[in-house]
Amino acid sequence: MSMRHIWAMTRKEFDHIFRDRGTLFLVLFTPTLVLLLMAYALIVDIQHVPIAVLDYDRSQTSLAFIQKITAGQDLDIYAYANSMDDINNLLMRGQIKAAVIIAPGFAADLQALRGLKMQVIIDGTEPNSGNFAVQHISQRAQEFIDAALAGQLRAAGIPLTSLQLPDVRVQTWFNPDLKSRNALIPGLISMVLGFPALSVALTLAHEREHGTLEQLLATPIRRAELLLGKIVPYIAVGLLNVVLIPILAIAWFRISFNGSFPLFFALSALFLFAVLSMGMIVGVFMRTQAAALALSFLVIFFPGFFLTGIFFPLASMPEEMRMESLMLPGTHYAIITRGLFLPGVGLDVLWPHVLALLGLGIVIGAFSLHFVRRALD
């Protein structure tokens, strides 16, 4: 075994790593980025769940109870509703994950040892947040009863066992059985539709790796024609999946689709444009298919898995991670698909996410066109 030969090969590989910026980035920075991403995404304690409160009693006791259940960082009051219509609108728009309705006579029932009667409505599109809100409210309600009446009962010689448990009546909207698949599968569509972007990245990287891109450029074909010819087949396949995936979800998984399919198709095409543009950027940056594959998973699939709110509530993420998630097309598309499948909402509710998806698609598309032109030149 010759050390000189080993050193020669070692130098060659070091030269390759430091000359190819993509490989250098993957080797040097990928482990750190993946660790940060997975640490922030997986170590999630559900906090700051947005709720609304509809207080029909409007007493000092009900106000004290509201302060009790929202103390700390678990539940945040997003709005004080004046009617059930307000609750309906907030839930339909996805602005709250639970609503607490305090019945008239709340304070009188407490003083008469009749317990606490309230209704909690939860958004079934995010079962984890809804269940957390119910458990937290029930626990805090029991603590509130004990603190409010324990001294009074002791003074009167009445045993604490006479206290009734809180009567929390839970109603679940959009997903009555709280089946996780009803919320999970519509969100997963944003991930599976990202595979055409992977194919685009691998195709461009393959052309660069084998030198066939330069041969294509030597033909009379224009650059715009080359790019369109490369991307149109993947758009067509992606749009075919946009038709097949809802059929699979409805027929096989028994997921109800309550929205407009033409709207779903149009917004899915917009999402495909954004993710395919991301794939083009990856493809022109990487000179090998292996590097393009690794970078695609790093910038497309890992964030799509951890940061788009499919598995972990956005409200529970740290502020910086939540801001980063809002810069991903998959985050807005996952909200759109859940809104179309479960509540069946339309553009009047989804328009902020549609505008965000459109803006991201335009920005990413402009960047991809710029980088592809530079690579072709």
pLDDT: which is higher, 209 or 103: 103
Closest CA to 268 of 256, 276, 280: 276
- Tens digit of each residue's pLDDT (9 = 90 or more) over 269-291: 899 888 888 888 888 777 777 77
238-267: average pLDDT: 88
Q: Is 90 a residue whose pLDDT tops 70?
A: yes
In contact, 106 and 118? CB cutoff 8 Å:
yes
> Where are the domain boundaries for CATH 3.40.1710.10 in the chain?
49-173
Q: Is 43 a residue whose pLDDT tops 60?
A: no
**Token match 């007493």: residue?**
59
Q: Is 267 a residue whose pLDDT tops 90?
A: yes
pLDDT: which is higher, 28 or 192: 192
In contact, 234 and 219? CB cutoff 8 Å:
no
Closest CA to 286 of 216, 198, 190: 198
Q: Cα-flanking dihedrals φ and ψ of residue 118, to 5°? A: -155, 165
Residue 323: the pLDDT is 84
Lowest mean pLDDT among 88-102, 140-154, 181-195, 231-245: 140-154
Question: Apex CA 331: angle with CA 273 and CA 131, to 5°?
Answer: 150
Closest CA to 102 of 23, 167, 7, 193: 167
d(CA 172, CA 180): 13
Question: Apex CA 241: angle with CA 239 and CA 244, to 5°?
Answer: 120
114-125: average pLDDT: 82
For the beta sheet containing 49-55, the strands, ordered from the edge strand earlier in sequence to the opposite edge, are: 75-80, 49-55, 98-102, 117-123, 167-173
Residue 221: the pLDDT is 67
In contact, 106 and 62? CB cutoff 8 Å:
yes
- Tens digit of each residue's pLDDT (9 = 90 or more) over 139-150: 888 888 777 766
- Tens digit of each residue's pLDDT (9 = 90 or more) over 299-339: 787 777 778 887 777 777 777 778 888 888 989 999 999 89
d(CA 75, CA 247): 37
Residue 53: the pLDDT is 93
Lowest mean pLDDT among 186-195, 307-316, 324-333, 351-360: 307-316
257-277: average pLDDT: 90
DSSP strand E in 88-166: where?
A: 98-102, 117-123
**Token match 């758009």: residue?**
235
Closest CA to 90 of 136, 53, 127: 53
Residue 353: the pLDDT is 92
Lowest mean pLDDT among 53-62, 175-184, 237-246: 175-184
For residue 375, the one-letter residue type is: A
Residue 355: the pLDDT is 94
In this prediction the pTM is 0.77
66-84: average pLDDT: 88
pLDDT: which is higher, 231 or 55: 55
What b-and-e string marks burial along 147-182, b requiring 16 or more CB atoms within 10 Å of the CB? ebbeeebeeeeeeeeebeebebebebbbbeeeeeeb
Lowest mean pLDDT among 10-14, 120-124, 133-137, 199-203: 10-14
350-357: average pLDDT: 92
367-376: average pLDDT: 74
Sign of CA dihedral 327, 330, 334, 336: positive
pLDDT: which is higher, 252 or 165: 252
Q: Cα-flanking dihedrals φ and ψ of residue 207, to 5°? A: -60, -40
Chain centroid to Cα 346, Å, comes to 19
Q: Which of 208-212, 356-360, 372-376 has the highest mean pLDDT?
A: 356-360
CATH annotation of 49-173: 3.40.1710.10
Residue 359: the pLDDT is 92
